[in-house]
Structure 1
């Protein structure tokens, strides 16, 4: 079967790849079949309606297809204790690596509607990992199994009206009661993906003084909990993502819900960011493919001035420039994913943290170019919310969601260079010390 140019990375077209094994290829086919059956066929309709039906989340959960959003290596002991041994009968949990993860995210996003994937995996991708890595045995026993079984849902609560990329300025406070049994939480969280459905929020709060050292992570109950108020925020894109504004007024949370230790919140947040940013990068790259390949397909059949648009040199020029940037980005992402799959987590965080931030920023820029190209080539259809250009019009409204969340673009560009400088200077000092 012929594939529309730019619709898939080369390895999925049967071309050689140094990264992808037979296991990865089998997983991609299984993922594609599952997603097309249970998600892609109705994704546009659900986005238009503004909600992802509850049965979709249940279907994914029943098939253990929310769990691949977790960062590899997976928590094997917990999963096997809960009876999870493989995904779709194709990949054993012990074999699941970051390349499998990348394929999973790409297949989720191949429908071209990012909101539905956010509604499905935000808890596993962002809210649950800190609980797995840093939660006490008691906290894990109490909630992790329920998350894995899909009995409860979660969200990550970092951003506030006055603190976005500037995480160290988080103001939401958590103060212990005199008897030491509870924290009392006050504050606001804004732009919280999945917030309207979440039972719990893995929340950054201030338990100490100003700055990064005063931050902690607390698992805060939401639904029906006294003092919690949640309202939906309307965003330009990602309608089905359930973005919420959460207000906390004297919310009592058991001290047992502290994740890790007090004052260690910044470290946990930053380590979780690498996974979040890689996920966003993969998803945004896929969205760019959907946009550009849709335009390519359209101009092959659309006629103007008595010939297909593809016969116009200016059209080919636009496609070529965006296609070159897209394929370059895609190759870089594959390289990053391979490196993450083959490095220890501590080494990966140190060596790839800055580059992952840079890739996330670059992905947003390339996506912007590709979807603008698509809208222009669709002409009036690209400016219309229904009809032939419906998908690219929707994707055009997703650009801010690609360039802002997970660390806004300018912040990440600066962070990337600062991290590279830091690593370079550290290695120079190590070499100088070795000579002494």
Structure 2
């Protein structure tokens, strides 16, 4: 009897366990079929990504290719906005996956495959505006805004960015200074201020923008969300000026500085209610931070697997580097961090899929913040390990260490955006303590009511 054909073994740490032949409670046949489609489509689209990173630009038709392949929708948080998608005529994703069947782990598969190239810029150029700019519109936007803009956004004929951060307000969202005041005629908001580090901003037709509609000292209570036309006002007299910002990594993500000088925005473009902006923004945080965690964890996987592959073939002092105990020790420490981080991402994704959305936003907020912070710590450890093991090749922008060198420059693009590392670590503990204290108080009230 012939032996069964052996599958090609995977390099240690190069794939998540469910793709390395190990059992998992999370993934079913639908997820595996979706993973095969994602890998085939995304690998083809990102085949020349290293060249793009050197040039600092993605091809003009890249976004169009994803739109035509109906591969923008998976960047949205699960569950998808089924009603609005069907109203726009979108009933299925590639491979016959119905939009109502798309779950948290289809989202995990998509995010993981989008960053399998090891670089965040190309993925961010496609997904950031979709993932974080569209949800406030279908969650809180008026029927007019949804009817007018969602079909084009879903199909990729209209592009959006999320515009929160400013020169003086990063992780401290409540410190936003961009103002939106009502015009004397009452028909417009007049928007003045600056937005900085806005991913996809250079290409966006519109921005889901945080603005201050309340007094300067009103803090979070004075924030609102506006649907701000950028492209039509990016002209002399229109009030919008945009320029690209060069950053240390992820240079293809379209990071932008936006200057707004008395931009007229119709009052109908208010998303939800005035003064509710901070609440709306916070509903984005968990998805944003888990998305960053997911991409960072795959990037750590790419760089650590590259190190393993290198030390298996590189010889020094008369034997392969893998035979050096100190090398194995470095790899083991990073591997343990990596697989633990991946398990945490999967765990939070599972918990999100089982909890009511409002409950998940509260219960998982602190944990997701810490998971995002930890993903940057893990990526930093894995990238440093790879650079050290590659030696001079890990410092060289071309050749066999090219990916390692590029990834090392990406590390701080994880540790800062979405809430900087120290802020999120502190926030995570404060949130957990706050929940504990609230539940304790409720328990005490319940006990006292029975006395």
> Residue 272 of structure 1: which of 284, 303, 309 is its match?
284
Which residue number in structure 2 is paired with residue 133 of structure 1? 139
Residue pairs, 1:247-262, within 5 angstroms: 247-262=259-274
Q: CA deviation at 1:5?
A: 0.4
Q: CA deviation at 1:178?
A: 0.9
Counterpart check, 1:198 vs 2:198: no
Which residue number in structure 1 is paired with residue 239 of structure 2? 227
Q: Indicate conservation of the 8 Å contact 2:191/2:264, yes or no.
A: yes
User: Taking structure 1 as the reference length, what is the TM-score of the superposition?
Assistant: 0.98
Residue pairs, 1:84-103, within 5 angstroms: 84-103=90-109
Residue pairs, 1:75-224, within 5 angstroms: 75-209=81-215, 210-224=218-232
Which residue number in structure 1 is paired with residue 5 of structure 2? none
Q: Indicate conservation of the 8 Å contact 1:26/1:90, yes or no.
A: no
Which residue number in structure 2 is paired with residue 283 of structure 1? 295
Residue pairs, 1:23-102, within 5 angstroms: 23-39=30-46, 41-102=47-108
Which residue number in structure 2 is paired with residue 351 of structure 1? 363
Q: What RMSD, in angstroms, separates the aligned Cα atoms of the two structures? A: 0.9
Distance (Å, rounded) in 1 between the aligned partners of 2:42 and 2:393: 27
Distance (Å, rounded) in 1 between the aligned partners of 2:60 and 2:146: 25
Distance (Å, rounded) in 2 between the aligned partners of 1:301 and 1:3: 16
Unpaired stretches in structure 2, ≥5 consecutive residues = 1-7
Q: Indicate conservation of the 8 Å contact 1:160/1:170, yes or no.
A: yes
Summarize deviations over 1:22-54 as a string: whole Å, max 9, x none: 111111111111111222x11111112211112
> Residue 423 of structure 1: which of 429, 435, 442 is its match?
435
Distance (Å, rounded) in 1 between the aligned partners of 2:97 and 2:76: 15
Q: CA deviation at 1:239?
A: 0.7
Which residue number in structure 1 is paired with residue 406 of structure 2? 394
Matched residue SS, 1:241: coil
Summarize deviations over 1:50-99 as a string: whole Å, max 9, x none: 11112111111011101101011111122122232222124211110111
Q: Indicate conservation of the 8 Å contact 1:287/1:395, yes or no.
A: yes
Distance (Å, rounded) in 1 between the aligned partners of 2:347 and 2:78: 16
Q: CA deviation at 1:224?
A: 4.0
Q: Indicate conservation of the 8 Å contact 1:105/1:283, yes or no.
A: yes
Distance (Å, rounded) in 2 between the aligned partners of 1:381 and 1:83: 50
Distance (Å, rounded) in 2 between the aligned partners of 1:37 and 1:158: 33
Which residue number in structure 1 is paired with residue 338 of structure 2? 326
Distance (Å, rounded) in 2 between the aligned partners of 1:29 and 1:370: 27
Which residue number in structure 2 is paired with residue 312 of structure 1? 324
Residue pairs, 1:348-387, within 5 angstroms: 348-387=360-399
Unpaired stretches in structure 1, ≥5 consecutive residues = none
Which residue number in structure 1 is paired with residue 15 of structure 2? 8
> Residue 17 of structure 1: which of 15, 24, 41 is its match?
24
Farther off after superposition, 141-150 or 413-422: 141-150
State the 4+ residue runs in structure 1 displaced beyond 6 angstroms. Answer: none
Corresponding pairs, count: 435
Q: Indicate conservation of the 8 Å contact 1:30/1:90, yes or no.
A: no
Q: CA deviation at 1:153?
A: 0.8
User: Taking structure 2 as the reference length, what is the TM-score of the superposition?
Assistant: 0.95
Distance (Å, rounded) in 2 between the aligned partners of 1:273 and 1:61: 25
> Residue 309 of structure 2: which of 291, 297, 305 is its match?
297
Matched residue SS, 1:89: helix
Distance (Å, rounded) in 2 between the aligned partners of 1:178 and 1:9: 58
Distance (Å, rounded) in 2 between the aligned partners of 1:18 and 1:151: 38
Distance (Å, rounded) in 2 between the aligned partners of 1:55 and 1:66: 14
